Amino acid sequence: MKKVTMGSQTLIYPMPVTLVGANVNDKPNFMTVASCSSANVEPPMISLAIRHNHYTLKGIRDKLTFSVNLPSYDLVKETDYCGITSGSKVNKVEVCQFKVFYGKLSNAPLIEQCPINLECKVIHILDLGSHSLVVGRIEETYVSEDCLTDGKPDVNKVKPIAYIRIPTAQYQCLGEVIGKAYIIGKELELKK
């Protein structure tokens, strides 16, 4: 198979689309982040890359707390809006009509309309060049009751948004299930 070189780029997908929240100058603000990942399991931690000059980062650095909210498809416009505007200029909560609530932490604003909400405390901030890599410990997880099936979050009800950067920056739904993890690979184990 012929390979073509494409220089140095972070070509990886799909990425989860999140709305990261913080209180900045005592007001809740949210920004769209699609560079969010699990960073540790015991205890549960998350990492996010945020460009240094972002308004939300100011609040995260100031209070050392933040939230990660997972929007559903039906919030795709609001989600995109929070990525193309700055809280230094507009009140995103007002424009998007977000209902904000707080949990355990006093400075991690959570969006009621998002089916999943994580409250986080900052553990590390790594300065990597253009971005700060923020690592946070998850203090509590909130799930909208109508997104549960048998008491567990149901991805078909949560309807998370996948972000694709190349060739066109776009949001996609999830499609067909192609295999059970930790099971489908056993077929190869038998062939050994």
Rounded distance between C-alpha atoms, residue 75 and residue 168, angstroms: 20
Smallest distance from its own copies to CB 53, Å: 12
Nearest Cα to Cα of residue 32 among 104, 74, 87: 87
In terms of CB distance, is 66 or 163 closer to its own copies? 163
- Whether 139 contacts 104, CB under 8 Å: yes
Smallest distance from its own copies to CB 151, Å: 8
Smallest distance from its own copies to CB 88, Å: 15
Smallest distance from its own copies to CB 161, Å: 7
In terms of CB distance, is 8 or 26 closer to its own copies? 8
**Element at 111 (helix H, strand E):** strand 110-111
Nearest Cα to Cα of residue 174 among 13, 12, 30, 9: 13
Going by the DSSP 8-state scheme, the letter that residue 161 receives in this structure is: P
